[in-house]
Amino acid sequence: MLAYAIRRFGQSVFVLVLMSFLVFIGVYAIGDPIELLVNPQADEVERVRAAAALGLDRPFLAQYWVFLKGAASGDLGRSFVYNEPALTLILDKLPATIELAFVAMVMAIGLGIPLGLLAGLKPDSFIGRAIMAGSILGFSLPTFWVGLVLIMVFSVQLGWLPSNGRGETMMVAGLPVSFLTADGLAHLAMPAVNLALFKLSLLIRLTRAGTREAVLQDYVKFARAKGLSQGRVIGVHVLKNILIPIVTVIGLELGSVIAFAIVTESIFAWPGSGKLLIDSINQLDRPVIVAYLLVIVTLFIVINFVVDVLYSLLDPRVRLGGAAASH
């Protein structure tokens, strides 16, 4: 286990370096930040000065080398636009996004698995079909469209919920959270639903598919025959069988929710890191883009690690790190 963790850590460093290099190339390919940062009325002297001030006058590889040296000592550079350390900017915004992602994920899991189980156990009933048909709605329409319709209905027409921003926050363990205040919850409700819809549908469908298979398998039939209660059969045997694909998708989706809540955040003006990322991309604020993606990769690595460990716990047949030695 420990050896596995260490090996995984070594790989992660490699991933981070490769990732940062790819982002450097990518941003370089998109365009020249000076074009966007310098006031268009400025002359050539000013452009040259700005390029030098931001270190953009050096050759590409030299710029990357400067970044690597800084990164090794924990300095991911300063935002071109905000002149604040990129990491500080991101870490200031990340809790809001994580909270949003977390609430959305809890909604999706809390509703998705029970509904999926229900649809899987009673596939031919009206309710089963209704759940399945309804779940299609969740991913048929683009997020931005659904978001605006939510605002139209709940903020503009009914006036129940605020249309933008995060609302009042409370400090819990040094982090500001908003789901503990009424104002915060009101602000959180719509963006979280908007973000949860797709995951909810996906989870309903995965759970249903897994359940349908599981109930037909011998060990479940056997457990039923033994006279185990319906609750126990579902809770232990069925659920266990369907968890692997579900855990995978949850892992994937949690990561993608955190990383790419961009659209939801911009519609609801949620002050999270997704909005920071898209603004940084629009401005080609390279230090922020690079630092942001490094933070996200790190998050992914951690999530994937946890997911892999979960596999081995959920299903002893899966050995950590694969069965490399056997062939």
Partner 1 sequence: MAPKVEGPWARFRSEFAESRLAMAGLLVLVAILAIGILAPVISPQNPYDLAQLDVMDSKLAPGEKSAAGGTYWLGTDDQGRDMLSGIFYGLRISLGVGIASTVFALAIGLVFGLVAAYFGGWVDTLIMRIVDIQLSFPAILIALILLAVLGQGVDKIVIALVTVQWAYYARTVRSSALVERQKEYVEAARVLALGQARVVFRHLLPNCLPPLIVVATVQVAHAIALEATLSFLGLGLPITEPSLGLLISNGFQYLLSGKYWISFYPGVALLLTIMAINLVADQLRDILNPRLRK
Partner 2 sequence: MLRTLRLALAALAILGLPAAATAKEREVSIGLQAAITSMDPHYHNLSPNNSMMLHVFEPLIKRDDNQKLIPGLATSWKALDDLSWEFKLRKNVRFHDGSPFTVDDVVFTLGRVPNVPNSPSSFATFTKPIVDVKVVDPHTIVFKTAKPHVLLPSDLASVMIVSKLHGEKAVTSDYNSGKAAIGTGPYKFAEYVPNQRVTLRANYGYWGGEEPWDKVTFKTLSNPAARVAALLSGDVQMIETVPTADIGKLSKDAKYALVDKVSNRVIYVHLNQRTDTPPPFVTGKDGKPLQSNPFKDARVRKALSMAINRDAIADRVMEKRAVPAAQLLPDVFFGTSKKLKPAKHDPEGAKKLLAQAGYPNGFAMTVHGTNNRYINDDKIAQAIAQFYTRIGVDTKVETMPANVYFTRATKGEFGYMLLGWGTESGEQGSSLRSLLATYDAAKGMGVTNRARYSNAELDGLIAQAMSTIDDKKREALIQKAAEIAMNDTALIPIHYEVSTWATMKSHRYTPRTDQYTLAMGLKPAK
- On whether the CB atoms of residues 206 and 245 are closer than 8 A, the answer is yes
Which residues in 187-216 contact partner 1 (CB under 8 A)?
198, 201-202, 205-206, 209-210, 212-213, 216
132 binds partner 1 per the rule CB under 8 A: yes
CA atoms of 281 and 65, how far apart (whole Å): 22
279 binds partner 2 per the rule CB under 8 A: yes
90 binds partner 2 per the rule CB under 8 A: no
CA atoms of 252 and 250, how far apart (whole Å): 5
Which residues in 100-159 contact partner 2 (CB under 8 A)?
107, 111, 148, 151-152, 155-156, 159
Query: Closest approach of Cβ 129 to partner 1, in Å?
Result: 6
Residue type, 305: F
Which tokens sit at 77?
């550079």
Nearer to partner 2, 39 or 73 (CB): 39
302 binds partner 1 per the rule CB under 8 A: no
Nearer to partner 2, 30 or 302 (CB): 30
Query: Closest approach of Cβ 26 to partner 2, in Å?
Result: 12
Q: Name the DSSP letter for residue 151.
A: I
Nearer to partner 2, 135 or 241 (CB): 135
Nearer to partner 1, 2 or 325 (CB): 325
8 binds partner 2 per the rule CB under 8 A: no
- On whether the CB atoms of residues 204 and 116 are closer than 8 A, the answer is yes
Work out the angle between the directed axes of helices 273-283 and 86-121 (0-180°, nearest 10). 120
DSSP for 38-49, written as a single string: S-TT--HHHHHH
- On whether the CB atoms of residues 104 and 264 are closer than 8 A, the answer is no
Which residues in 191-250 contact partner 2 (CB under 8 A)?
none
